Amino acid sequence: MRLCIFIILIVNGCQIDLYSGRIDAFKNRNLTHTSFETNRFSHSTDHNTLSFRGANLSSGRTRHHHSQSDNLRYIVKRSEQSVSKGEILPDIVTVGRVLRVEAGQSAKLTCTVNNLGKYVVMWKQNGRVISAGNLLVRKDNRYQLKIADNNFNLDISDLTLDDASEYKCEVDIMGRPISIVHSLEVLIAPQIQAKENKVRLKKGENYTLRCSAHGHPNPRISWTKKVGSISPMSGLSLDLLDVDRHANGEYICTASNGVGIPASASMLVEIQYPPEIHMDQQWSIFDKKITVKIDCIVHGNPSTQVTWFKSSG
């Protein structure tokens, strides 16, 4: 009987030492939270709990936590992304400007950044990323990123009207971006077209000549007459009121907007009217003889036939 009790005490002592060793290891590695108890001390191999002063371990229920070393690595990683004390931050020294470039030509957007360090330069168009660092994201052969020293320039070739937009050069400093904006205007040389090439009117009628033009910026339209003159007029239309034979002729509408060369279109106006006669007499005396020259000036459309008559008497 005494021998059995002795053996049981030895076994319990070994198990307690074993658990104590495990507990010391857990304490040293900070893998569990300890709860302090002062009055209980027991041991079980099934669902009971081994408790002793200074610790409480539950079989099969240990909660896992990050160790101090894991937390330290996390803190270091976050601190690398923050702005350190005394750090010189990036500065964009280029000033945003407005560029006006004719369609088909190339535009150069400049961006010079001092003290870039670990940060990244991005080009954006209306919030859409074009490039990040030295990577050109936009899949367009007309775009070219040129990086030299602290210059991050974006070239766009063969411009179209769709390229007209605002372009932003941006550096994000821990969620606080700095940027400049270039505004690109694509200029289009004027083009013009007449509503019709030929107009036939009758005397006394009214009519409006019209031309349509487009370009960027919007072109200004002026009107002229090839033969004769008209009052200076501008706009998409020209009114002809109570027309007569003097309104006959070729009218020209011209569009200009300062880009390229002005564009022109012409319209032929034909007025039909009854004959109009004007008589002109010239007297001359030669060798005591009087000579009279009579001119009969006739206007009419369609063409008129002139006949001379001499009254009797």
pLDDT, tens digit, 9 for 90 and up, residues 161-176: 999 999 999 999 989 9
pLDDT: is 284 or 194 the higher one?
194
Weakest-pLDDT range from 37-41, 198-202, 204-208, 289-293: 37-41
**How far is the C-alpha of 18 from the C-alpha of 9, rounded, in Å?**
14
The sign of the dihedral angle between the CA atoms of 235, 241, 247, 249 is positive
119 assigned to some structural domain:
yes
What CATH code is carried by the domain that includes residue 121?
2.60.40.10
If asked whether residues 30 and 108 sit together in one domain, one would say no
**How many domains does the chain contain in total?**
3
Same domain? For 23 and 54 the reply is yes
CA-wise closest residue to 185 among 163, 214, 155: 163
The pLDDT confidence band at residue 294, using thresholds 50, 70 and 90, is confident
Within this chain, do residues 57 and 95 fall inside the same structural domain, yes or no?
no
Within a domain: 166? yes
Classify residue 69: in a domain, yes or no: no
Residues 179 and 266 in one domain: no
Domain shared by 120 and 177, yes or no: yes
Which is more confidently placed, 134 or 16? 134
The one-character DSSP state at 126 is T
Same domain membership, residue 211 and residue 180 = no
pLDDT at residue number 82: 58
pTM for the predicted model, two decimal places: 0.59
Residue 158 in this model has a pLDDT that exceeds 60: yes
- Whether 108 and 183 share a structural domain: yes
Q: pLDDT band at 281, cuts 50/70/90?
A: confident
Average pLDDT over residues 301-313: 79
182-212 burial, b at 16+ Cβ within 10 Å, e below that, comes to: bebbbbbbbebebeeeebebeeeeebebebe
- Contact between residue 138 and residue 96 where contact means Cβ atoms under 8 Å apart: no
**How many angstroms separate the Cα of 115 from the Cα of each of 84, 169, 216?**
14, 15, 40
Buried b / exposed e across 274-294, counting CB within 10 Å, b at 16+? eeeeeeeeeeeeeeeeeeeee
Asked if 100 and 163 sit in the same domain, the reply is yes
Within-domain flag for 294: no
Lowest mean pLDDT among 54-68, 174-188, 279-293: 54-68
* Residue 228 belongs to some domain of the structure: yes
Task: State how far the Cα of 221 lies from the Cα of 144, in Å rounded to an integer.
Answer: 38
* Of the residues 187, 205, 235, the one at which a domain ends: 187
- Residue 313: which pLDDT band, with cuts at 50, 70 and 90? low
Average pLDDT score, the chain? 78
216: in domain: yes
Residues 180 and 226 grouped into a single domain: no
Residue 288 has what pLDDT?
Answer: 78
286 in a domain, yes or no? no
* 147: containing domain: 91-187
What is the SS3 assignment for 304? coil
Question: 127 and 164 share a domain?
Answer: yes
Both tokens assigned to 164? 């007209």
Please say if the pLDDT value at position 62 is more than 50: no
Same domain, 175 and 195: no
| 303 or 116, higher pLDDT | 116
Cα 273 from Cα 205, distance rounded (Å): 11
Is 310 domain-assigned? no
* Residue 270 pLDDT: 95
- Are residues 143 and 104 part of one domain? yes
**Mean pLDDT, range 199-220, rounded to an integer:** 95
Q: Taking residues 36-41, what's their average pLDDT?
A: 34
SS3 248: coil
242: pLDDT strictly greater than 60? yes
Residues 266 and 251: beta-carbon distance below 8 Å: yes
Which of 18, 46, 61 terminates a domain? The answer is 61
Residues in CB range of 313: below 8 A, 6 or more apart: none
Where does residue 313 rank: exposed (0-12), middle (13-18), buried (19+ CB within 10 A)? exposed
Q: Quick check: 299 pLDDT over 90?
A: no
Residue ending a domain, among 167, 187, 207, is 187
